Chain A
Amino acid sequence: MKIEKANVGNLTNFEVFDFLRTRGATSDPMGCIGSVSPSECKVFEYLSGSPACMQTRESVNEFLIKADKFKFITSFEKLNIVNSTPTVMPALYATIKDCDKRIAKEEEQIAKENQLEEDQLQELLELVKEIFPQPAEEQEELSQ
């Protein structure tokens, strides 16, 4: 076996989920015998429990375009955010490495440092919530 190119491109969880779905995988483990292998079924099952199952190609593209204006996050972090769709600030902190230090460094010259950091992060969080709504929260509200 010869590895021609180790990394042709990163895939978001949504893309893998969509690919497996078009190949015939379903959430029912008995239903996908024949079209996909059991191990592919397990991956599909895992992805069905993640935020990827609620996403669409358009929503992911929309997020990537709109997140472009946030210069402090790298493309890996955008991938992280799309895969995990954080809804609270600590979850967003987790996806961005050393975020406090990075934003403070960029905006060093400007007086209201702390406020700017939080504003940008808050804006990013709002963008995530707007583009990737969480159905789990709605269910919780209903049960309450």
Chain B
Amino acid sequence: MFYLSQVEQNLKMPPHLLKPSLLDGELEKGIRGELEKRFLDKVITNLGLCISVYDIQSFEGGFIFPGDDGCATYKVRCRLVMFQPFVGEVIVGKIESCDEFGLQVSLGFFSDIRIPERFMVQPCHRGEDGIWVWQFKVDNEEFQYSLDIDEEIRFRVASVKYPPTPVEQSENSEPFSPMEITGYINGDGLGLVSWW
């Protein structure tokens, strides 16, 4: 689910952050703070969601370029903890909502996980209250297992997509999600954790 990524960034340190750091000898802390502001909780295309700054390997520079409002630019090399599950990974999440297309699962820190109807346990249908129900038949007996909201669900990652940022968005459209994970639950051991 997580991996380390090494990046190099030209970081502009504003003077009000620089002064206390330099005096205390804690420039690294100041740089770390700026890195976190820059990367934390942001999605980097093809890398994933940045969870945390793991460490700062080196920084150099500190030159003040003209027209920069007095910001000192440092070239920082650091490692970031990225969240990007690999295809085929099994993850446990909570069902956040369901609609006619399928389920939406959330991990707390990441919610753009969809399980479309074609990837759900078959056969299943959507009940009157909107909840998806799995009809499981064994020896002429039929069991109904419903996929309720807030239930823990184990799914396997089918794909991770990074849709391009839309240039214009109409008012009623859904908020843009920069990283979308599609999962499937039609397999042994997958589906609600309570089923197995």
Do these two chains really belong together in a complex? yes
Enumerate chain A interface residues (CB-CB to B < 8 A): 1-13, 15-16, 19-20, 23, 37, 39-40, 42-43, 45-46, 50, 76, 79-80, 83-84, 86, 88, 90-95, 97
Closest to B3 in A: A10
Binds A, one of B88-96, B116-124, B129-137: B88-96
Q: Are A39 and B3 in contact (CB under 8 A)?
A: no
Most chain B beta-carbon contacts within 10 A, residue among A2, A79, A86: A2
Q: Are A97 and B88 in contact (CB under 8 A)?
A: yes
Known: A3-B7, A10-B3, A79-B89. 4 other contacts (CB 8 A): A13-B1, A16-B81, A84-B92, A94-B154
Q: Are A45 and B108 in contact (CB under 8 A)?
A: yes
Provide the residues of chain A in CB contact with B46, threshold 8 Å: 6
Q: Are A93 and B188 in contact (CB under 8 A)?
A: yes
Provide the residues of chain A in CB contact with B114, threshold 8 Å: none
Tell me, yes or no, whether B51 is within 8 Å of chain A by CB. yes
Interface residues of B: mostly helix, strand, loop or mixed? strand
Q: Are A9 and B4 in contact (CB under 8 A)?
A: yes
Provide the residues of chain A in CB contact with B47, threshold 8 Å: 3, 6
Q: Are B54 and A19 in contact (CB under 8 A)?
A: yes
Closest to A20 in B: B52
Q: Are A88 and B3 in contact (CB under 8 A)?
A: no
Q: Are B52 and A88 in contact (CB under 8 A)?
A: no
A113 vs chain B, min Cβ distance (A): 19
**Complex interface bits, B1-23 against A, C-beta within 8 A gives 1, otherwise 0:** 11111111110000000000000
Contacts A11-B81, A91-B196, A94-B156: A5 and B41 contacting too (C-beta < 8 A)?
no
Q: Are A40 and B40 in contact (CB under 8 A)?
A: yes
Provide the residues of chain B in CB contact with A76, threshold 8 Å: 86, 88-89
Q: Which B residues, 70 to 86, have Cβ-Cβ distances below 8 Å to chain A? A: 77, 79, 81, 83, 86
Q: Are A50 and B92 in contact (CB under 8 A)?
A: yes
A136 vs chain B, min Cβ distance (A): 10
